[in-house]
Amino acid sequence: DTGSAAAIPVNPNYDIAYVTPVSIGTPPQTLHLDFDTGSSDLWVFSSHLPASQIRGQTIYVPANSSTAKLLADHTWSITYGDGSASRGNVYVDNFTVGGLTVENQAVQCALQVSTSFTRESNIDGLVGLGFSTLNTVVPKSQLTFFDNAKPHMDEPVFTADLKWKSEGTYDFGFIDEKKYTGKITYVPVNTSPGYWTFTSSGYAVGSGNFSATSIVGIADTGTSLVYLPPSILTAYYRQVEGATSSRTYGGYVFPCNSKLPSFTFGIGEARITIPSSYISYAPVTAGSSTCFGGLQSSSSLGINIWGDVALKAAFVVFHGGNPPTIGWAKK
């Protein structure tokens, strides 16, 4: 089996997150979910939520699905790296992404979501594509869509082709040679943390020299920005006129009309360059001439994160073989 589905920016101006249409249940209920390689719970806005926590999202109504079955006495509760959170109960139902169906997929129904989820009216839930060891369902943890689908897939892979301010694609079960240029460089993945954790071989700021240094981090489609060690941030923003680390805005900001260098990171001998346009992320508040950077410090996170700002500069292969690896190509 294979599948292919769109990755649609939730906001026309800033790539805060990407959503993908999925079908759940019988008859199919279509929701738009945030595919998130940085977590491993598949949860949806549901008919169990208080109306006060829903603001335009599409809800999953298990009562309207003839194939939905309650997973009795199971619950879940998750908190993400950005402090957002949700919790609820669990059903199993048919789950289809781009023509690829998994029967008896655990669909975690939200009974409570934090304000940042309520405020994001274009995200109806998340599909965790991290390793199933991170799944929060108790007493028995559940498998991700990828783990359930893998045995039926032509190849045990999914790929991310995210795009700057435009629609990209998630492919499942195959690698589309048309989506990248040159070769794909694969590097090992450490699955112990439960994320797609790999080691980058270094970085360069703009046209500067490449600094060979191991950067352990995660490839995370569910995080908007890139979070790296402070020393790398200093090296980058020292090249940006008027850049400063703002306590008010919680990170590096700069005048929106400042000239920004690109940022290159290493994957083995290969190099991926993030264009400067991706790094001038967004005005700190609507209409402001102060902009928030797409590269920020990971010092408060305890983990380096290659979020969407980096991923959309590449074609990324999440290879779920034994052992799993991650592949990066230019495009």
Which residues form the catalytic set? 36, 220
3 or 217, CB closer to ligand FLK? 217
Q: Is 223 in the site for ligand FLK (CB under 6 A)?
A: yes
Binding to ligand FLK by residue 84, rule CB under 6 A? yes
By beta-carbon proximity to ligand FLK, the closer residue of 39 and 169 is 39
196 binds ligand FLK (CB under 6 A): no
Q: Which residues of 147-185 are buried (b: 16+ CB within 10 A; e: fewer)?
A: bbbbeebeebbbbbbbbeeeebbbbbbbbeeebbeeebb
**Residue from 30, 69, 70, 82 in contact with ligand FLK (CB under 6 A):** 82
Q: How far is the CB of 121 from ligand FLK (least distance, A)?
A: 16
Q: Binding residues for ligand FLK, how many (CB under 6 A)?
A: 12
Which residue matches tokens 């592949």?
Answer: 327
| Stretch binding ligand FLK (CB under 6 A), from 33-41, 53-61, 230-238, 291-299 | 33-41
User: Where does 189-243 show beta strands of DSSP type E?
Assistant: 197-205, 211-219, 226-228
Q: Show the site string, 251-290: x = touches ligand FLK by CB under 6 A, - = not.
A: ----------------------------------------
Taking Cα atoms as reference points, which of 190, 191, 207 lies closest to residue 199?
190
Q: Which of 278, 281, 286, 280 is nearest to 313 (CA)?
A: 278
Query: Phi, psi (5° rounding) for residue 278?
Result: -75, -20
What residue type is assigned to position 133 of the chain?
T
How far is 45 from 86, CA to CA, in rounded Å?
Answer: 10
Residues 137-166, one symbol each (x = binds ligand FLK by CB under 6 A, - = not), give ------------------------------
- Residue 57 binds to ligand FLK (criterion: CB under 6 A): no
Q: Does 2 engage in binding with ligand FLK (CB under 6 A)?
A: no
Q: Of 214 and 300, which has the nearer Cβ to ligand FLK?
A: 300
Q: Give the whole-angstrom CA distance, residue 33 versus residue 44.
A: 8
Select 119 or 152, whichever has its Cβ closest to ligand FLK.
Answer: 119
Stretch that binds ligand FLK, among 34-42, 89-97, 280-288, 322-330 (CB under 6 A): 34-42
Which listed residue (3, 9, 25, 38) binds ligand FLK by CB under 6 A?
A: 38
CA gap 22, 37 in Å, rounded = 16
Contact call for residues 288 and 273 (beta carbons, < 8 A):
no
The neighbour count for residue 238, using CB atoms within 10 Å, is 9
Chain positions 304 to 323 lying near ligand FLK, rule: CB under 6 A, are 305
203, 266 contact by CB (below 8 A): yes
Interacting span for ligand FLK (CB under 6 A) from 46-54, 197-205, 217-225, 229-237: 217-225
**DSSP reduced 3-state for 300:** coil
Name the site residues for ligand FLK (rule: CB under 6 A).
36, 38-39, 80-82, 84, 220, 222-223, 303, 305
